[in-house]
Structure 1
């Protein structure tokens, strides 16, 4: 069996299940590009506790190696004859470099997901250190996520087996960036920030849970990375796709001679569409994560919400929102500001911008107080309502102070102007 045949026989099956010889893979330093883009889709940063830190070695994996943890991508040039290589233009060689990096890092990503599934998920499940809902927070659909990328990986290696010099890739990429990947990735990533915070806090107070994770992290597949450093792998991979596709497009467009060929034009159109779809998936997942974070924030605020003073009021707005449940609303943004009133001290407040209303809360320790504020003006005896419905709200800039703004409540029952100031102009804009 030739080196090429052996290489393909191993890759074509798409079987990257972990065994005692398998290690977590995550590098792309073998690319011919001078880009400092790391495997996680971000520009290279400090090699700390993340999968970026994995690719520190400079050992090239051979075709019989199961490990590409700290290796360069297998050079595609090894799979073609010397004559075929001589006949390729520098532009085509560059294009093949990018394709090889795309294929290699996808294989690495599948191994990362497999580490999460077979080392962490199964061990935590077996140890019964977490409740089902807590385990689901960390790994909501890890098996589905692994299966999705394993199929992508299989398709990429199928294309490589068809011809080591990969021709058109547009149709394959359009098939990859589909609804299934979008939905699965959104489910897996949307609560990941909460999951990372949960892991940190739980390890600090639960020695058994910490011991289970420590045991997992000692395995050489994890390369001394904590679970928190491996868990974000899917979000990082989604961020990487548009960057790789942009480089692939550039490698095609830079060949001025071939770019006028109709088949190349068609390929370019497909690549541009694939890049657009990859960005749409990334944006969709980012938005899902934002919505999940905002839902969690409203849940936390609701747990610490004190409405006793508000409920005792006879104001119409209090009767309308007497049993307010913030979790029934959608949070757009939140932040701290200060409420200024004539002849009254400044009051620090916490503003919730919901789709339906603006909520002005007063912080008191861990509590969020929903209460009316004295207006401070003899001309306005009615108190300031802590709730301004969106259909009665006007926003006015403060021409004197760039850090401030006015909220005007035009309600016929209780019209008022609220003078709010932020610490700086940036926070006011937020």
Structure 2
């Protein structure tokens, strides 16, 4: 267990002191007391080369290997002798601090020699410690975290699982060849495009996961960066990952649903449009607009912040180098990831258009794809708008920061326009412009078009100030502003500001005619879209401030109405109390009075004039009653009783007119003293009757006095009701009058502002006339367009007829061509047969020629042999004749006769052979000439 908090410790965060064997947590090492054994073991004199007695602190880890490191390279200077090392989640070597030297130990040395030796050793040790310090720092930074490696390994596993399903380059290569041959060509092309959508979405989700799990998490866990720093580089990253992970999972589920039975790779996705419509509509579309608007809007800011951080932070450089070499990242840096995510949303329309191209038009899928394409374009338009607004906001902030705080400009209406007024408006457009002075010189300026004002700034000492222009304001309100182009000047325009007094005109020049026209169009559009409630009298008041003022005025009105209701409630309670005082008399007009007090509608409220008239009549009635009582009295008793009767009704109405009621006032004044209003009228009448009886009055006078007193009380009660109602009416009318005054002031201000000037009226007439001319031109153009449309329709009809005739002629020609082809095919077959016969005859002829040549050669050889034999026989006969020439003639004749038959036989044989040879050759030549003649006849056309 830990010696400080007495909790179990793990091997990763265990720290052990080699002197006292104390084990503490990483977080508990600061609060733990210093080791006492170290002080006991320290010698009084420290030898320069004797470092064995110094304390060592060993950090326990998984491998439990020891390696000596200098203490100053690891331990902070403010720590005590008992120092504990920071642990790492990766296995690393234990560190021994036996070679460290502290200045405190050297200061406690006993003699100068030892002190000098110790100082020399300290100088050498300090150099080595500095080198070791850098090495340890670099080694600590280069160590990989176990959790990070595990996370990257898990991420790599997820990537491999996803890529197994989409590892082929196209759908045609992903399915079996037999299954592929069964599909049509259009189906194959459509599935290839859908497969490309799945593959690109997988790569996009992979990029987002790399940004989230590798870079973002690593910056937080390894570099200990704050979350706001990571958020600057990766805004809305988690939302983007969630959106596209869900979309990709839906596509994979649809692929799984479309798998063929007993196969895990053959599938045809017939419906994908419903998923696309779901992804790019409703809540998902709003999320995409919001997240991509923020991410793409902060793109430049994130890249610039990353570059700045990378150039300043060495730890961040080492972190990026380590992550870029990872197999998961595949050298995909942060800048590349941000760029890929920014461009992803622009790829959807291209892919959807290609899917739509290979989808039949009469299917529901075609309508869904068409709708999803429109929805994607709407999302992209909204994202572009958000990015544009953010860029304009940043540009306005840049202009505001560069504007001099002391610069101020007076507007035409007399109001002042300062630097702070820039921030309260919305930037529409800005750009360079030229202001023409009275002398004709052009002055460079920066035109800034705001939501209700056009401001011209001038650069001075690398800051913006309001441009000066000869007694003319360069801060122009768009209210009553007229924009005109300068005659015979393509680049110039006039800004005419119409005011209550003399109008002002400013001539502005741009760099080109197109830019001039663009500025004029943007200013006109801004004037058109500007709200009617904007007022030049309050130029520095923004829309938010006006909304705040409106809500505040509404709250004040509501508070005033609540106070009126409270006053009416108090008046009603006061009326009830007064009725209770007046003998509990109930009148049928009670509900009417209550309704009059609490009626909020000014149309149904009672009029004060009638109430006042009724109250005057009641006062006259009281006066008559009082005078009649005074006329009927006799003596002091009657006069006292009359005084009693008059005092009550006269004093009450006067007190009823006061706001506080008659709770704190006296009700009547008597001779014996004052009486409070809590005394009821019965006691009052009883007192009056007792006083009259004591003074000896008769019964008739008492009845008359009682009757008159009752009339007075009823009249006083009625008069109090009327006066209370009058007070309520007055309160309501006061509130209503103040409200009407406020509305009247606003109407008068708006009327005075909207009261047209003569020039403004003329300008309106000109604009109306221009609009009429444009309308007439538009109608003419529409008529011309209709006429051209009709002509084109006629031309199309004639062309269609010609095309139909051509198609008929082409069909006839195709038939003729087919017949000719058939005949040609037949002739070709016949010619082929003849050719084959010719080849056969030619082969026979060649064989006969070869046989003839052989026989000719044989005949020649025979003839040569015969000629040789004849020559031999002739020579032999001649030699015999020469030998037998001396003999007699008879023997000679006998001798010459025998060879004759042989010679004859030879002659016959030779003659036979000579005769036989030519006849044979003739016959063979005749035989060979017949096939050749036949071949010649076949070869002729």
TM-score interval, normalised by the smaller of the two chains: 0.7 to 0.9
Q: Deviations over 1:212-233 (max 9, x none)?
A: 4444334344443432222022
Unaligned runs of 5+ in 1: 1-16, 26-62, 254-258, 376-382
Superposition deviation, residue 147 in structure 1: 1.2
Q: Are the aligned partners of 2:472 and 2:504 in contact in 1 as well (CA < 8 Å)?
A: yes
**Residue pairs, 1:219-238, within 5 angstroms:** 219-238=326-345
Which of the numbers 426, 450, 454 marks the counterpart of 1:358?
Answer: 454
Q: Are the aligned partners of 2:407 and 2:418 in contact in 1 as well (CA < 8 Å)?
A: no
Name the SS for the 1:391 alignment partner: coil
Q: Deviations over 1:223-257 (max 9, x none)?
A: 4343222202232111000110011111114xxxx
Going from structure 1 to structure 2, the CA distance change for 1:236 and 1:393 (only over 3 Å counts) comes to same
Q: Are the aligned partners of 1:80 and 1:165 in contact in 2 as well (CA < 8 Å)?
A: no
Q: Partner residue of 1:19?
A: 153
Superposition deviation, residue 340 in structure 1: 1.6
Whole-angstrom distance in 2 between the partners of 1:23 and 1:233:
22
Going from structure 1 to structure 2, the CA distance change for 1:395 and 1:73 (only over 3 Å counts) comes to farther
Q: Partner residue of 1:39?
A: none
Q: Deviations over 1:24-61 (max 9, x none)?
A: 99xxxxxxxxxxxxxxxxxxxxxxxxxxxxxxxxxxxx
Runs of 4+ in 1 over 6 A off after TM superposition: none
Q: Partner residue of 1:423?
A: 511
Superposition deviation, residue 20 in structure 1: 7.1
**Residue pairs, 1:379-418, within 5 angstroms:** 383-412=471-500, 415-418=503-506
Superposition deviation, residue 115 in structure 1: 1.2
Which of the numbers 117, 138, 142 marks the counterpart of 2:212?
Answer: 117
Q: Does 1:77 align with 2:180?
A: no
Q: Partner residue of 2:374?
A: 276
Structure with a larger share of its residues in strand? 1
Unaligned runs of 5+ in 2: 1-150, 259-266, 520-941
If asked which structure has higher relative contact order (CA below 8 Å, sep 6+), I would say 1
Whole-angstrom distance in 2 between the partners of 1:418 and 1:133:
47
Superposition deviation, residue 421 in structure 1: 2.0
Q: Partner residue of 2:307?
A: 200
Superposition deviation, residue 320 in structure 1: 4.4
Whole-angstrom distance in 1 between the partners of 2:152 and 2:514:
48
Going from structure 1 to structure 2, the CA distance change for 1:21 and 1:176 (only over 3 Å counts) comes to closer
Going from structure 1 to structure 2, the CA distance change for 1:161 and 1:193 (only over 3 Å counts) comes to same
**Residue pairs, 1:243-262, within 5 angstroms:** 243-253=350-360, 259-260=361-362
Whole-angstrom distance in 1 between the partners of 2:322 and 2:489:
56
Superposition deviation, residue 137 in structure 1: 2.5
Determine which structure has more spread, i.e. the larger CA radius of gyration: 2
Q: Does 1:159 align with 2:254?
A: yes
Q: Partner residue of 2:237?
A: 142
Q: Partner residue of 1:325?
A: 421
Superposition deviation, residue 352 in structure 1: 1.2
Superposition deviation, residue 158 in structure 1: 0.9
CA RMSD in angstroms, aligned pairs only: 3.0
Q: Partner residue of 1:216?
A: 323
Going from structure 1 to structure 2, the CA distance change for 1:318 and 1:204 (only over 3 Å counts) comes to farther
Going from structure 1 to structure 2, the CA distance change for 1:64 and 1:106 (only over 3 Å counts) comes to closer
Whole-angstrom distance in 1 between the partners of 2:413 and 2:402:
21
Aligned length: 356
Going from structure 1 to structure 2, the CA distance change for 1:426 and 1:112 (only over 3 Å counts) comes to farther
Whole-angstrom distance in 1 between the partners of 2:514 and 2:229:
36
Q: Does 1:341 align with 2:441?
A: no
Going from structure 1 to structure 2, the CA distance change for 1:207 and 1:343 (only over 3 Å counts) comes to farther
Q: Are the aligned partners of 1:21 and 1:66 in contact in 2 as well (CA < 8 Å)?
A: no
Superposition deviation, residue 96 in structure 1: 0.5
Going from structure 1 to structure 2, the CA distance change for 1:174 and 1:309 (only over 3 Å counts) comes to closer
Q: Does 1:370 align with 2:489?
A: no
Superposition deviation, residue 197 in structure 1: 2.8
Q: Are the aligned partners of 2:348 and 2:376 in contact in 1 as well (CA < 8 Å)?
A: yes
Q: Partner residue of 1:13?
A: none
Going from structure 1 to structure 2, the CA distance change for 1:226 and 1:78 (only over 3 Å counts) comes to closer
TM-score normalised per structure 2: 0.35
Whole-angstrom distance in 1 between the partners of 2:476 and 2:164:
59
Whole-angstrom distance in 2 between the partners of 1:349 and 1:405:
15
Whole-angstrom distance in 2 between the partners of 1:135 and 1:21:
20
Whole-angstrom distance in 1 between the partners of 2:317 and 2:513:
43
Whole-angstrom distance in 1 between the partners of 2:494 and 2:168:
58
Which of the numbers 287, 290, 305 marks the counterpart of 2:403?
Answer: 305
Q: Partner residue of 1:189?
A: 296
TM-score normalised per structure 1: 0.74
Q: Are the aligned partners of 1:338 and 1:422 in contact in 2 as well (CA < 8 Å)?
A: yes
Going from structure 1 to structure 2, the CA distance change for 1:298 and 1:105 (only over 3 Å counts) comes to same
